[in-house]
């Protein structure tokens, strides 16, 4: 069951009682599982919960499940003893009310790896840094006296094999000044000052202090008091649906036009879409079994002491879902909105609700198809798309993850990167090959935002293959006597592995059904169309290339295995590398007519601009998953004239230009 309430005119759903195996975790389940762990004596004053995640149900059992039949619900709790630094994975069946397994996390053994950070550790970092005499001396030497408002950022340290770091729960901290408690710290980086901390021992391991670059004094604030009154030239733009939206919500199940899917949410991935189908001639045809963006890495291209080590894994180190935003009507979402609350767990393993974490609505998207015939009669239909989205804030950056479903069967995934760029300091007017001066003395390093989408595909079933399709020119000769010919090639990927995009050849990847054909006799397919932006720019021998190997390819294809969920492995924090996709493809299993998973890497390579300061306009990136021979004809032929817009004569005459009246001339 679900609690669907009205909050200030908005509909909001929170799953409170599970009725389907793929429903998200509820508050009650998280509390119940924690109680089982507590009853087993596994919780002490120093034990915390850096991760609480659903255990994915068996796929074949889920496909075969019928309403009313029983099913198991299990939860993975990662328990960290902050006094010893030792962690355990504890799997609890809340259905059977018992602990299923308990496994030590091998953080002290090569290749290491630590659980994600706790919220409480962020505050602890600042206290430890500010109490250390070497840091105090470095601040005093720079003539800084207002210590109270200084911000000490808690930052994942990467992995570099330092003897005093390996196998220990570490974190680094950079220092940022603030003129007032509300001042933007990102405008005032203290260059050349780096603090490394052992969180378990609660001690500063080292303070590195290099150089005396002046701290920039430029403002980083963008409030009304700083930028002045808002412009008054924009007139209101209203989006109304007088008859209500075209979608329905029943628990976690959402239906819109021909689309059906289930919404889920967890603390690491955030938004998850399950069992995505499209109704064609009365049949619900499968497209995706499960889809999410389970990891991303933000590697920096700077060689300075403050930033050479930066390569944040915002899901695996910080938890995207746990950092999700409560979305606001009229700001984050516009139109007739339906929200889902997100449920995660706090540092103590108690349920933590992110209100209105997931937003859903419809929006107009221009013309879907149009033709004016030889007699001059126009016929067109308007496009509309269904939007499912959430935002997460990790430190200085904000990320929006948007899934768009279109009336013609297309799926689009879009990441929106915004927030405040991460800065260093330099001599005003100087040149830095690894950072661009975006304000006087403020240098923003070059960096990347590389997202990994996990598409557990099920195109007309689970017997899928991948065809790599490219366009190629035909050399002038007998096969191309006039020089104008070109064609395309189809290469079936045989075994697990990675592939790069090839934009000049329009390389796409087609997921094909092993048994179903369309009315031309060809296999039904969906094609993944990449943007083809750069993959990881770091050198192969670098630490980040080993830890974020998933980001070295645009596409990986693996044979489905239930425990292969994370592109960089379960614990990328301080991991030496090689986990995740390199391990998943090591067996070289066949991926022809198999249950397969596509992992697609995408995202911007950012050379910051002055226009990105003091807050960055959205940088868009993503990809399309588009039907290719999946349908026999255009599936949007039966849309109504004007798609129920204010003008409804698009196929019966000519719309007037003033009041959208119809001219019925035949």
Asked if omega into 590 is within 30° of 0 (cis), the reply is: no
Radius of gyration, CA atoms only, the chain: 27
Q: Is 81 designated active site? A: no
Cis peptide before 111 (omega within 30 of 0): yes
Residue 109: phi and psi, rounded to 5, are -125, 145
Q: Is the pLDDT of residue 595 over 60?
A: yes
For residue 151 the two structure tokens come to 């911000």
Which of the residues 314, 408, 456, 612 is marked catalytic?
314
- The model's pLDDT over 103-159, given as tens digits with 9 standing for 90+, comes to 999 999 999 999 999 999 999 999 999 999 999 999 999 999 889 999 999 999 999
Q: What are phi and psi of 144, to 5 degrees?
A: -90, 125
According to the model, what pLDDT value does residue 17 have?
96
pLDDT tens by residue, 529-540: 999 999 999 999
Alpha-carbon torsion (569, 539, 493, 503), positive or negative: positive
Sign of CA dihedral 306, 308, 314, 315: negative
Distance CA 543, CA 575 (A): 10
- Sign of torsion over alpha carbons 290, 295, 296, 299: negative
Summarize pLDDT for 333-350 with one digit per residue, the tens: 989 999 999 999 999 999
Q: pLDDT tens digits for 38-89? A: 999 999 999 999 999 999 999 999 999 999 999 999 999 999 999 999 999 9
CATH number listed for the domain at residues 119-225: 3.10.450.40
**Which one has a higher pLDDT value, 332 or 434?**
434
* Tens digits of residue pLDDT in 468-484: 999 999 999 999 999 99
- Cα–Cα distance for residue pair 294/319, rounded to 1 Å: 10
| pLDDT digits 0-9 by tens, 312-324 | 999 999 999 999 9
pLDDT at 666: 30
pLDDT given at position 330:
83
Flag whether pLDDT at 653 surpasses 90.
no
Supply 576's token pair: 């030496």
| pLDDT of 662 higher than 70 | no
Contact (Cβ atoms closer than 8 angstroms) between residue 317 and residue 329: no
Q: What is the pLDDT of residue 212?
A: 85
Report the pLDDT value the prediction gives residue 92, as an integer from 0 to 100.
98
Number of Cβ within 10 Å of residue 277's Cβ equals: 18
- Please state, in angstroms and rounded to a whole number, the distance separating the CA atoms of residues 374 and 355: 54
Quote the pLDDT of residue 289.
98
Cβ distance 339 to 327 under 8 Å? Answer: yes
DSSP-assigned states of every residue in 34-77:
HHHHHHTT---TTEEEEEEEEPPPPHHHHHH--TTS----EEEE
Tokens of 472: 């190629």
Two structure tokens written together for 348: 């103590």
Q: Is 258 within 8 Å of 635 (Cβ atoms)?
A: yes
Q: Domain 247-641's class?
A: mainly beta
Q: Where are the alpha helices (DSSP H) in 505-630?
A: 543-547, 581-584
Dihedral (CA of 105, 106, 107, 113) sign: negative
* Alpha carbons 186 and 151: distance in angstroms, whole number: 9
Return d(Cα 368, Cα 436) in angstroms, integer.
41
Q: Where in the chain is the domain with CATH 2.70.98.20?
A: 247-641
β-bridge pairing 338-345 and 10-15: parallel
Residue 648 neighbours by CB under 8 Å, 6+ apart: 640, 641, 642
Residues in the chain: 666
Residues of the chain with CATH 3.10.450.40: 119-225
Helices and strands in the chain: count of H runs, count of E runs: 7, 39
What does the block give as tokens for 165? 């770091």
Check if 619 is active-site: no
Q: What is the mean pLDDT of residues 493-516?
A: 98
Mean pLDDT computed over 491-518? 98
Q: What residues have CB less than 8 Å from 504, skipping those under 6 apart?
A: none
Between CA 154 and CA 132 the distance in angstroms is 15
What does the pLDDT read at residue 665? 34
**Residue 578 and residue 616 in contact, taking contact as beta carbons nearer than 8 Å:** no
Cα–Cα distances in Å, from 173 out to 74, 207, 243, 305, 515?
Answer: 37, 10, 53, 12, 55
As a whole-number percent, the residues of the chain with pLDDT over 70 amount to 95
Helix (H, G, I), strand (E, B) or coil at 605: strand
- Which residues are CB-contacts of 590 (< 8 A; sequence separation ≥ 6)? 494, 495, 559
Distance of alpha carbon 138 from alpha carbon 448, whole angstroms: 31
pLDDT of residue 5: 67
Active-site residue (options: 112, 312, 397, 584)? 397
* Measured distance CA(186)–CA(219) in Å, rounded: 9
Q: What is the pLDDT of residues 136-151, one digit of tens each?
A: 999 999 999 889 999 9
Q: Return the ∠ at Cα 457 (arms to 454 and 463), rounded to 5°.
A: 140
Answer yes or no: are the C-beta atoms of 529 and 628 closer than 8 Å: no
Q: What are the phi and psi torsion angles at 178 (to 5°)?
A: -135, 135
Structure confidence at residue 663 as a pLDDT band (50, 70, 90): very low
What is the model's pTM?
Answer: 0.95
Residue 198 has pLDDT above 60, yes or no: yes
DSSP code at position 639: P
CA-to-CA distance for 346 and 246, rounded, in angstroms? 36
The number of beta carbons lying within 10 Å of the beta carbon of residue 176 is 22
- Predicted confidence (pLDDT) at residue 441 exceeds the cutoff of 70: yes
- CA–CA separation, 93 and 68 (whole Å): 19
State the Cα–Cα distance between residues 475 and 431, nearest whole angstrom. Answer: 47
pLDDT category at 3 given cuts 50, 70, 90 is: confident
| DSSP notation for 145-211 | ---TT-EEEEE-------TTTTTS-EEEEEEE--SSTTS-GGG-EEEEEEEEEETTTTEEEEEEE--
Dihedral (CA of 258, 261, 263, 266) sign: negative
Measured distance CA(222)–CA(187) in Å, rounded: 11
């Amino acid at each position: 069951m679900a609690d669907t309430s009205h909050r200030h005119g908005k509909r909001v759903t929170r799953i409170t009682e599970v009725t389907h195996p793929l429903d998200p975790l509820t508050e009650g389940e998280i509390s119940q599982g924690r109680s089982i762990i507590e009853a087993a004596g596994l919780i002490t004053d120093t034990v915390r919960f850096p991760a609480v995640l659903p255990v994915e149900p068996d796929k074949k059992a889920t496909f075969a499940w019928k309403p009313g039949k029983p099913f198991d619900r299990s939860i993975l709790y990662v328990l960290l003893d902050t006094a010893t630094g030792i962690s355990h994975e504890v799997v609890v069946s809340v259905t059977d009310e018992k602990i299923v397994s308990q496994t030590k996390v091998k953080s002290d053994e090569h290749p290491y790896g630590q659980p994600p950070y706790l919220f409480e550790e962020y505050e602890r970092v600042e206290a430890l840094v500010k109490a250390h005499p070497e840091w105090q001396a470095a601040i005093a030497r720079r003539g800084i006296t207002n210590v109270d408002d200084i911000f000490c950022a808690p930052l994942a340290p990467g992995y570099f094999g330092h003897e005093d770091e390996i196998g220990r729960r570490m974190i680094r901290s950079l220092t940022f000044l603030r003129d007032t408690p509300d001042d933007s710290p990102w405008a005032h980086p203290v260059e050349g000052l780096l603090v490394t901390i052992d969180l378990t021992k609660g001690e500063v391991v080292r303070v590195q202090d290099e150089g005396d670059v002046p701290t920039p004094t430029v403002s980083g604030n963008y409030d009304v008091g700083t930028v002045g009154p808002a412009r008054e030239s924009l007139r209101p733009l209203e989006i109304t649906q007088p008859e209500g939206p075209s979608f329905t919500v029943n628990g976690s199940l959402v239906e819109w036009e021909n689309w059906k899917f289930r919404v889920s949410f967890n603390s690491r991935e955030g938004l998850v879409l399950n069992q995505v189908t499209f109704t064609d001639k009365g049949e619900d045809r499968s497209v995706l079994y499960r889809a999410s963006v389970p990891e991303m890495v933000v590697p920096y291209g700077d060689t300075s002491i403050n930033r050479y080590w930066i390569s944040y894994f915002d899901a695996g180190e910080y938890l995207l879902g746990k950092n999700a935003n409560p979305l606001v009507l009229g700001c984050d979402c516009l139109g007739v909105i339906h929200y889902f609350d997100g449920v995660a767990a706090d540092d103590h393993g108690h349920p933590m609700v992110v209100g209105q974490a997931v937003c859903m609505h419809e929006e107009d998207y221009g013309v879907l198809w149009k033709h004016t015939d030889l007699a001059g009669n126009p016929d067109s239909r308007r496009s509309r798309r269904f939007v499912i989205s959430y935002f997460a804030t990790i430190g200085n950056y904000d990320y929006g993850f948007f899934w768009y479903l279109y009336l013609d069967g297309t799926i689009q995934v879009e990441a929106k990167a915004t927030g405040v760029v991460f800065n260093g300091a330099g001599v005003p007017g100087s040149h830095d090959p690894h950072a661009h001066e975006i304000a006087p003395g403020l240098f923003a390093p070059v960096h990347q935002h590389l997202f990994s989408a996990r598409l557990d595909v099920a195109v007309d079933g689970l017997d899928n293959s991948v065809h790599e399709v490219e366009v190629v020119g035909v050399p002038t000769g007998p096969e191309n006597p006039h020089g104008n010919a070109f064609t395309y090639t189809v290469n079936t990927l045989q075994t697990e592995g990675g592939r790069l995009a090839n934009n000049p050849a329009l390389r796409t990847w087609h997921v094909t059904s092993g048994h179903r054909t369309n009315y031309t006799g060809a296999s039904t397919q969906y094609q993944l169309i990449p943007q083809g932006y750069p993959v990881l720019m770091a050198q192969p021998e670098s630490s980040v290339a080993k830890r974020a190997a998933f980001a070295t390819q645009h596409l990986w294809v693996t044979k489905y295995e239930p425990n292969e969920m994370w592109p960089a492995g379960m614990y990328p924090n301080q991991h030496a590398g090689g986990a995740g996709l390199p391990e998943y493809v090591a067996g070289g299993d066949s991926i022809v007519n198999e249950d397969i998973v596509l992992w697609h890497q995408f995202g911007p390579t950012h050379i910051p601009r002055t226009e990105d300061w003091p807050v960055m306009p959205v940088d868009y990136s993503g990809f399309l998953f588009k039907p290719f021979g999946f349908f026999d004809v255009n599936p949007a032929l039966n849309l109504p004239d004007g798609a129920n817009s204010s003008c409804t004569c698009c196929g019966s005459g000519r719309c007037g230009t003033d009041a959208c009246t119809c001219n019925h001339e035949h």
